[in-house]
């Protein structure tokens, strides 16, 4: 064991890379550890990044992206609704492309990164965090004053029995998707993203279609508990959707499946605690993913940045106690906690088929349709969307 440093960041997804960018701009020693050779190389993701996120973080994706200008939405018991926008609402791209773009934003990236290195265990002892790693060179340990764990939906700190219990299957999501090569007539797919909610298309979640350049991703999923107990296999929903449901089935009839992939996504709303002595969880590791859309890239970047700012302050004040780190949780809750809280509330209503009447209530008017579409692409907060579209009795419950 020969490395002792101020901060270790685990994981080079949007949370870890933005934590690294933020710390690299300060005079603090740190290391970024990731199991892949290149950031985001292996991540399963739809790859939709809202314009708001690109603008806020100054992200300029220059290759391999498609600008998205509209949405199609389908809710239980209602017809498909299409909402178009005057300008781009975001881009669909590959995660490898996003990883490449983000790592170029991290100063001294090569110097501070240990790639191809898997963290097997994290423990807190004698005023240090010990991080056990495994790489081509063999097993090793590093120590630091504080760790930012941005290792995704099944974080290594939680697996090491730190911070909190794992998210139960009743709140963890699971998504399965195909990458499709767009061939023949499928090359004409429009630049709109599809969101199909309800039991016809998923085991209690939603199905998506996000067209990229020369390829598309189509996927479906739901809460793990529902996926496991459902009579149908999750891929049956996806196959049925792309083969038999119009307009998708016609639009994608010449598309060819090139890859099948699956991954968990936290859909629990607010998951706390997100800190402990010397540990901060950020991004999916802290449950920072929208329960209503599965969108997590923007929240993860925000969380990575806030975790890094908190870590820098804790190093400067020489205090890594949980009492000091509590401010991290207050900050991220202030930034986007409301979206997670109300997203979890809305998810339950939009995916159920009508007992609460929410689907038909929500999409009655063009105004409501637009505000729901804006929410799904990160242009509007979830709370604003519910207040604009839901009946007044729901609004009055929320204001309490
Ligand atoms: C099917 C699917 C579709 C999605 N589509 C979208 C979408 O279109 N738009 C959107 O905004 N969000 C989407 N999401 C959610 C989004 O992908 C996540 O919220 C986001 O990637 C979280 O970022 P992160 O940095 O927290 O974690 P991740 O992106 O998961 O990154 C985790 C990092 O940690 C590393 N790591 C993990 N374990 C270890 C270890 N033991 N040692 C070292 N390194 C480790 C990984 O290699 C990786 O670098 C989707 C998710 C799924 C599953």
Q: Which atom of ligand 1 is nearest to the CA of 40?
A: 49
Same-domain pairing of 217 and 330:
no
Q: How far is CA 214 from CA 100, 110, 185, 193, in A?
A: 19, 31, 12, 15
Averaged confidence pLDDT in the chain:
93
Decide which of 195 and 366 is more confident: 195
For residues 180 and 200, what is the distance between their CA atoms, to the nearest angstrom? 22
Ligand 1 centroid – CA 43 distance (Å): 6
Q: Is residue 154 part of a domain?
A: yes
CB contact at 8 A, 239 and 233:
no
The answer to whether residues 254 and 179 belong to one domain is: yes
> Residue 77's pLDDT is what?
84
Q: Are residues 193 and 295 in the same domain?
A: no
> What is the domain count for the chain?
3
Say if 153 falls within a structural domain: yes
- Take atom 47 of ligand 1 and give the residue whose Cα is closest: 35
11 with 131, same domain: the answer is yes
Residues 69 and 137 in one domain: no
For residue 358, tell me if it sits in a domain.
no
Question: Does residue 175 have its Cβ closer than 6 Å to ligand 1?
Answer: yes
Q: How many Å lie between the centroid of ligand 1 and the Cα of residue 265?
A: 8
Distance from the alpha carbon of residue 278 to the mean position of ligand 1, in angstroms: 23
The verdict on 292 and 235 lying in the same domain is: no
Q: Does the structure show a pLDDT above 60 at 354?
A: no
Nearest Cα to 285, choosing from 131, 117, 147, 104? 147
Instruction: Examine residue 348 and state whether it is found in any structural domain, yes or no.
Output: no
300 lines ligand 1 (CB under 6 A): yes
**Protein residue with its CA nearest to atom 13 in ligand 1:** 295
The pLDDT value given to residue 359: 56
Of 266, 296, 314, the last residue of a domain is: 266
Mark which of 250, 266, 282 sits at the end of a domain.
266
pLDDT at 126: 86
Whether residue 109 lies inside any domain: the answer is yes
**For the domain that residue 201 is a member of, what is the CATH number?**
3.30.9.10
Nearest-CA residue for atom 2 of ligand 1: 45
Nearest CA, atom 46, ligand 1: 11
Ligand 1 center–CA 284 separation, angstroms: 7
Query: Do 107 and 227 reside in the same domain of the chain?
Result: no
pLDDT in tens, 147-199: 999 999 999 999 999 999 999 999 999 999 999 999 999 999 999 999 998 89
Closest atom of ligand 1 relative to the 133 alpha carbon? 42
Burial of 60 (0-12, 13-18, 19+ CB in 10 A): exposed
Within a domain: 103: yes
Q: Looking at residue 106, which CATH number applies to its domain?
A: 3.50.50.60
CA distance 256 to 132: 42
**Ligand 1 center to residue 185 CA distance, Å?**
32
In Å, what is the CA distance from 116 to each residue of 35, 36, 113, 150, 304?
Answer: 5, 5, 10, 16, 21
What pLDDT is stored for residue 312 in this prediction? 98
- Strands 30-33, 3-10: pairing is parallel
Strand-pairing partners, residue 220, are: 176, 207
- 157 φ, ψ to 5°? -65, -40
Does residue 356 lie within any of the structural domains? no
In terms of domains, do 119 and 8 share one?
Answer: yes
**245 in the same domain as 122:** no
Other C-beta atoms lying within 10 Å of the C-beta of residue 80: 14
129 and 252, same structural domain?
Answer: no
* Ligand 1 atom nearest 117 alpha carbon: 43
Q: Is residue 56 part of a domain?
A: no
- Say if residue 357's pLDDT is above 60: no
Residue in 47, 296, 300, 378 to alter for ligand 1 test, most ligand atoms within 8 A of Cβ: 296
pLDDT of 302 higher than 90? yes
Same domain, 28 and 79: no
43: Cβ below 6 Å to ligand 1?
Answer: yes
**Residue 211 belongs to what domain range?**
65-92+170-266
Per-residue pLDDT at 1 exceeds 70: no
Of 244, 266, 288, the domain-final residue: 266
Same domain, 29 and 138: yes
Stretch among 247-251, 314-318, 358-362, 367-371 having the lowest mean pLDDT = 358-362
Q: Is the pLDDT of residue 355 over 70?
A: no
């Amino acid at each position: 064991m020969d490395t002792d440093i101020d901060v270790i960041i685990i994981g080079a997804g949007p949370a870890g890379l933005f934590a690294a960018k933020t710390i690299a701009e300060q005079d603090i020693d740190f290391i970024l550890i990731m199991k892949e050779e290149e950031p985001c190389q292996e991540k399963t993701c739809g790859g939709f990044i809202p314009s708001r996120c690109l603008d806020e973080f100054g992200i300029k994706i220059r290759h391999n992206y498609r600008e998205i200008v509209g949405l199609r939405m389908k809710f239980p018991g209602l017809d498909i609704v299409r909402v178009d926008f005057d300008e781009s609402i975001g881009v669909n791209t590959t995660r490898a492309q996003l990883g490449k773009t983000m790592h170029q934003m991290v100063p001294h990236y090569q110097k501070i990164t240990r790639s191809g290195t898997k963290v097997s265990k994290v423990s807190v002892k004698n005023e240090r965090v010990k991080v056990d790693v495994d790489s081509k060179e063999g097993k090793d340990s590093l120590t630091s004053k504080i760790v930012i764990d941005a290792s995704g939906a099944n974080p290594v700190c939680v697996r090491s029995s730190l911070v909190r219990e794992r998210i139960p299957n009743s709140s963890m999501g699971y998504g399965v998707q195909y990458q499709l090569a767009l061939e023949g007539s499928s090359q004409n797919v429009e630049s709109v993203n599809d969101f199909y909610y309800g039991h016809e298309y998923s085991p209690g979640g939603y199905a998506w279609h996000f067209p990229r350049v020369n390829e598309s991703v189509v996927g479906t999923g739901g809460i793990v508990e529902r996926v496991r107990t459902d009579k149908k296999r999750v891929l049956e929903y996806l196959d049925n959707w792309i083969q038999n449901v119009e307009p998708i089935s016609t639009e994608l009839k010449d598309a060819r499946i090139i890859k099948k992939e699956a991954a968990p996504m936290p859909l629990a709303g607010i998951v706390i605690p997100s800190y402990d002595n010397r540990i901060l969880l950020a991004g999916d590791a802290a449950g920072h993913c929208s329960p209503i859309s599965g969108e997590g890239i923007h929240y993860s970047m925000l969380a990575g940045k806030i975790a890094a700012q908190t870590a820098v302050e804790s190093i400067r004040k020489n205090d890594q106690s949980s009492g000091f780190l509590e401010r991290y949780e207050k900050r991220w809750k202030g930034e986007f906690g409301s979206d997670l809280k109300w997203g979890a509330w809305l998810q339950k209503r939009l995916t159920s088929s009508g007992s609460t009447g929410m689907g038909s209530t929500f999409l009655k008017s063009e105004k409501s349709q637009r505000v729901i579409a804006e929410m799904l692409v990160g242009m509007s907060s979830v709370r604003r969307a519910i207040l604009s579209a839901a009946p007044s009795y729901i609004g009055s419950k929320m204001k309490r």
